[in-house]
Amino acid sequence: MTTRARRFRVAAPLLLSLLTSGCARDAPQGFLKPVGEAARKADALWDVVFLIAVVIFVIVEGLLVFAIIRFRHRPGRKPAQFEGNPRLEVILVLIPALILAGIAIPTVRTIFDLAEAPPKAERLDVTVIAHQFWWEYRYPDLGIETANELHIPTGKPVYVSLESADVIHSFWVPKLSGKQDNVPGYVNYLTLETDRPGTYFGQCAEYCGLSHANMRLRVVAQTPEGFAQWVAQQQEPSETPNVPLARKGRQLFLQGACAGCHAIEGTDAQGDVGPDLTHFASRRRFAGAIFESTADDLVAWLRDPPAVKPGAKMPDLGLSEDQIEALVAYLRTLR
Ligand code: CUA
């Protein structure tokens, strides 16, 4: 092999690993740039552990390289033997044990710190129920139910109770908090908090079935005033549309299979299998936050949900193109 080929063989994997290791400047799910108090605490712990790991790496690799060169094989040289040296063995066990014990102190402290519930009077409670394959959000004190897009106010801790309707999922918004599992029959808790308005991305972080990778989520952080407006809008029941096509869609929705699984406040539709659609059109994304709430995406979805989101529990209802058009027109009035 030529020198150049050898250099390439060394450089290529290094370059590739750099390229694929998340060095992107705009990493929407980069946990190394937290924007909330809870995420900042976890990040601070990560910094400490990383620093310790780097020091250990440099010492161990340095000694290794030194030993490889200094004690390399030479004709007539016999390697020294250390077997059965109790003092050396105790030292070699003790050093890692002390390092781990040292790391355990800030780790356990951070775990307890993050697990502490913010005072009831100062926080907003949200229940997150994971489904195959979407997120349901309930605000018990505000009487709101929504899906896939979680709205939170800035400057206020949001205390999230995590539940699951079917299998184990994991709720993860890297910039706002660590990940926590949604386990059926059990409630886990997590605090989200940020001072910066914006949309933060996350996803299900536990393999949960066919559309695990399609279980995205968005957290919309708004100023307290913006959030109050959103709450007021979400608390309103739906309005009956005036446009004939949308009215036809409404009728189809209420008389067809849709109402069996979905609820729309202000109508007789009170199903609780799929997302509450009362303010469907106020959400920018739907179906696990993977589709945009545009007419095109809605049409594709209604034609055959499992075809565009594998494993979707909503079946192909065999709707005609006219029915789909009417349903889409109605859904888009649900602001
Ligand atoms: Cu839900 Cu993976």
DSSP notation for 193-250: --SS-EEEEEEE-S--STTGGG-EEEEEEE-HHHHHHHHHHHHSPP----SHHHHHHH
- Bridge partners, residue 224, by sequence: none
Q: Ligand 1 pocket by C-beta < 6 Å: which residues?
A: 130, 133, 169, 204, 206-208, 212, 215
User: Confidence band (pLDDT; 50, 70, 90) for 21?
Assistant: low
Nearest atom, ligand 1, residue 132 CA: 1
Residue 301 vs residue 25, higher pLDDT: 301
Query: How many Å lie between the centroid of ligand 1 and the Cα of residue 78?
Result: 57
pLDDT score of 269? 92
User: Confidence band (pLDDT; 50, 70, 90) for 24?
Assistant: low
Separation between Cα atoms, residue 287 and residue 311, nearest integer Å: 12
Nearest atom, ligand 1, residue 167 CA: 1
Ligand 1, atom 1, residue with closest C-alpha: 169
Query: How many Å lie between the centroid of ligand 1 and the Cα of residue 210?
Result: 9
Q: Are 215 and 79 in contact (CB under 8 A)?
A: no
Average pLDDT of the segment spanning 162-183: 95
Q: Which tens digits make up the pLDDT trace of 217-251? A: 999 999 999 999 999 999 998 888 999 999 999 99
Nearest atom, ligand 1, residue 211 CA: 2
